[in-house]
């Protein structure tokens, strides 16, 4: 039994003892139990159990096709939207299984935001509109002024405000790649999620923009739980507190980042991060 981020008790007996979570925190934002996922008949995630520490950055690494993106898509019920996507197992958030029948997936996606590999800005919509779009879809705003406040606050949190405050009405596509990705982060923040999932957020960015996003992640973890999927092992090493290594749909090793990158326990992790395969 463990306590989640609201101090409620969650049972995790079924969790694999190897991966039952971040022991350095008593708070879990998410507790995953026996998660399996399929695309049609193809099983892409096999029996993953793990605790994701609250207000931490957790990184998932692994070779292409290992299932890490699918896995985080299971964390906010996005996988089931894919063709043939099917999930079994449980994911607890505040003591509530997000896969329980009575749970509305849309409400989960509002609480667990997502940022994708390629900045998915609406190109012709204004910068302001891009940030506001998520809010408009999820809430009724009676006063535009409130909306303005939320947009400004979100852009500030995404470390973009100073760069765009004088051109909020310009199209989102006018921004650079790094700025567009921060705009997507602002849009995700605007709906006030508790958890932000990031799927390769920097893979299309230059090194400076990458470092800015990483710095931003470190800021964000003060208020949010961040889960990041990355191919860039240095990135995982730089920003995350815990790292999970996935291979062929399984979570092979899940430990404090420092341990994974200095003394990995599993030979497959060792071989992957030292570049002996992958």
Least distance (Å) between residue 202 CB and another protein: 16
Q: Is 59 in the site for another protein (CB under 8 A)?
A: no
Which of 158, 244, 264, 268 binds another protein (CB under 8 A)? It is 264
User: Is the sign of the CA dihedral 11, 251, 27, 38 positive or negative?
Assistant: negative
Q: Is 233 in the site for another protein (CB under 8 A)?
A: yes
Q: Is 278 in the site for another protein (CB under 8 A)?
A: yes
Q: Which stretch binds another protein (CB under 8 A): 5-13, 171-179, 219-227, 270-278?
A: 270-278
The region, left, alpha or beta by phi > 0 then psi within -120 to 50, assigned to residue 131 is alpha
Q: Is 270 in the site for another protein (CB under 8 A)?
A: yes
Pick the closer one to another protein by CB: 37 or 233: 233
Q: What is the DSSP string of 45-70?
A: EEEEEEEEETTSEEEEE-STTSSHHH
Least distance (Å) between residue 238 CB and another protein: 11
Instruction: Find the largest Cα–Cα distance for the chain.
Output: 58
Pick the closer one to another protein by CB: 76 or 210: 210
Contacts of 220 (CB under 8 A, 6+ apart): 157, 185, 189, 196, 226
Q: Give contact residues for another protein (rule: CB under 8 A).
A: 233-234, 237, 261-264, 269-270, 273-278
């Amino acid at each position: 039994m463990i306590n989640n981020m609201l101090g409620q008790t969650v049972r995790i007996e079924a969790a694999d003892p190897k991966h039952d979570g971040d022991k350095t925190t008593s708070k879990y934002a998410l507790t995953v139990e026996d998660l399996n996922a399929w695309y049609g008949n193809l099983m892409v995630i096999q029996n993953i159990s793990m605790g994701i520490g609250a207000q931490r950055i957790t990184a998932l690494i692994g070779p292409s096709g290992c299932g890490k993106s699918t896995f985080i898509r299971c964390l906010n019920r996005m996988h089931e939207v894919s063709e043939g996507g099917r999930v079994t197992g449980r994911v607890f958030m505040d003591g509530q299984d997000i896969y329980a029948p009575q749970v509305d997936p849309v409400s989960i996606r509002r609480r667990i935001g997502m940022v994708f590999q390629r900045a998915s800005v609406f190109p012709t919509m204004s910068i302001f509109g891009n940030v506001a779009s998520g809010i408009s879809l999820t809430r009724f705003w009676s006063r535009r002024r409130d909306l303005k406040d939320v947009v400004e606050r979100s852009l500030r949190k995404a470390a973009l405000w100073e760069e765009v405050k004088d051109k909020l009405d310009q199209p989102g596509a006018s921004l650079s790649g790094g700025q567009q990705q921060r705009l997507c982060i602002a849009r995700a923040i605007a709906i006030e999620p508790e958890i932000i999932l990031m799927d390769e957020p920097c893979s299309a960015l230059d090194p400076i923009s990458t470092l800015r996003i990483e710095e931003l992640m470190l800021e964000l973890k003060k208020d949010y739980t961040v889960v990041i999927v990355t191919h860039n092992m240095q990135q995982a090493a730089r920003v995350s507190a815990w790292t999970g290594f996935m291979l062929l749909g399984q979570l092979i090793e899940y430990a404090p980042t420092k341990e994974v990158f200095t003394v990995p326990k599993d030979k497959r992790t060792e071989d992957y991060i030292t570049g002996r395969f992958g």
